[in-house]
Chains A and B, each alone.
Chain A
Amino acid sequence: MNALETTGLGMRHRRTWALRDCSVAVPAGRVAALVGPNGAGKTTLLRLAVGLLTPTTGQVRIFGRPARESGERTAFVAQNKPLYTGFRVSEMLRFGRGLNPRWDDAAARRRLTELGIPLDRRIGRLSGGQRTQVALTVALAKRPDLLMLDEPLADLDPLARDDVARGLMGAVAETGLTVLLSSHVVSELEGVCDWLVVVNGGRVQVSGDIDELMARHSLLTGPAETADALAARLPVVSRSGAGRQATLLVRDDAPPPDPRWSARPVTLEEMVLAYLRTPDAAALPRPALSPAH
């Protein structure tokens, strides 16, 4: 069962396409990273998935149901962590309680107490990290099956970032909910996410299990004069190098056929960057996604 599935999803703002022909799936129970440069369509995809935007083409399915009928099963934390700044923290909880039948007030209070966030503090007076934690608490107390977060770790200091990531992972461990979070900082996702979706220029470039993707790619280093011959035999994602040495990032896990070449594993960041630099390359699941039914 896919928690999120889009088919042929497109969104046009006036004349430009913010997202085009996007077919992507996130299996239930995953913590998926939505990665891409700024303006690649990450926010648009999330806002379509949560029903805030109406797609120009295609459709979004949340556990098989249309996005706009899934308000009870999804939760969303937008990029600026919107909360009512004049409210007290306890009033934000009351807001959530009033608008969500599955609301878990005890868990929300426990979580905030553990984080040391006073319930009578006004939202406007919280620090950035605390504000993110309150937004996350409100989202989690809905007891969603799919939680979507737009750049949840951006503009947080390293300590707050670690706290938020641990809070999020703790919730996954406790409830097994599916998470889709967007980020343009790849390094902060390692260890956190197990599913990767790379969006670039409004299109999906990579989609799949992170461990599998990393095992299927390697970084080959060897003499530059033989690079062309090697590149002809292997699916090269990106190519770099200076002088006599060339480096190829290939979608292949066999050892290099040429003994003068050495292979080493890629990091998540290297792999993502390689794809982003080569917008034509793609690593999408084989076989093609099953259409929604």
Chain B
Amino acid sequence: MIEFRLDRGSGVATYLQLVQQVRHALRLGVLQPGDRLPTAKEVVARLAINPNTVLKAYRELEREGLVAGRPGLGTFVQRSLGQTSMDDRARLRAELVRWVRDGRQAGLTLEDLEALIASVLTDSFRQEIA
């Protein structure tokens, strides 16, 4: 079963943190179809977190079709993630390697590159959420 963590002060809404952790676990295969997610009460007992937030995260996951709630039984994983093909991944990785090389030639340090990636990722995903 997945064990949630909370990064207070990260600026990421709590329910999104939970959603991301479930997605991550699905991607890594830690969670598989048929697995039960902890109930809001179980999460709360460990994390001192608002149960409404847990339910909100589960609703979001349900909306995405990743999990499904069965009344009286709990919330269960419907399908796994990480279905992108190995070819796609290899291609994207190669592009990123090329981009990093360009950056370094342009004089950017490791931190510069990290800052750039972070800002692009943030902007990109913020638009998606909004």
Contacts and interface: CB of A to CB of B under 8 A. Distances in A.
Nearest to A216: B130
Contacts of B71: none
Interface string B27-70: 00000000000001100111111111100100000000000000
Contacts of A190: 8-9, 14
B53 A194 contact: yes
Contact of A255 (B6, B11, B41, B127): B127
B52 A211 contact: no
Given A173-B41, A187-B9, A214-B13, A192 B49 contact: yes
B10 interface: yes
A31 interface: yes
Given A191-B6, A211-B56, A173 B51 contact: yes
Interface string A246-287: 000000011100000011111111100000000000000000
Contacts of B13: 210-211, 214-215
A191 B49 contact: yes
What band does the interface of chain A fall in when counting residues whose beta carbon is under 8 Å from B? 20 to 34
A169 B15 contact: no
Contact of B48 (A166, A214, A218): A166
Contact of A215 (B56, B119, B129): B129
Given A193-B50, A253-B130, A266 B11 contact: yes
A279 B47 CA distance: 34
Contacts of B50: 31, 169, 172, 191-194
Nearest to A188: B8
B10 A267 contact: yes
A174 interface: yes
B123 interface: yes
B122 A263 contact: yes
Interface string B66-78: 0000000000000
Contacts of B52: 29-31, 172, 194
Contacts of B15: 211
Contacts of B12: 265
Contacts of B126: 218, 253, 255, 263, 265
A150 B16 CA distance: 29
Nearest to A163: B48
A69 interface: no
Given A194-B53, A265-B11, A267-B11, A169 B48 contact: yes
Contacts of B119: 262-264
A155 interface: no
Nearest to B46: A166
Contact of A172 (B6, B51, B127, B129): B51
A162 B49 CA distance: 10
A211 B12 CA distance: 9
A165 interface: yes
A131 B87 CA distance: 61
Contact of A174 (B6, B11, B41, B53): B41
Interface of B: 6, 8-16, 40-41, 44-53, 56, 119, 122-123, 126-127, 129-130
Given A215-B130, A265-B122, 10 more contacts: A162-B48, A169-B44, A169-B49, A170-B44, A191-B49, A211-B16, A262-B119, A264-B11, A264-B122, A265-B126
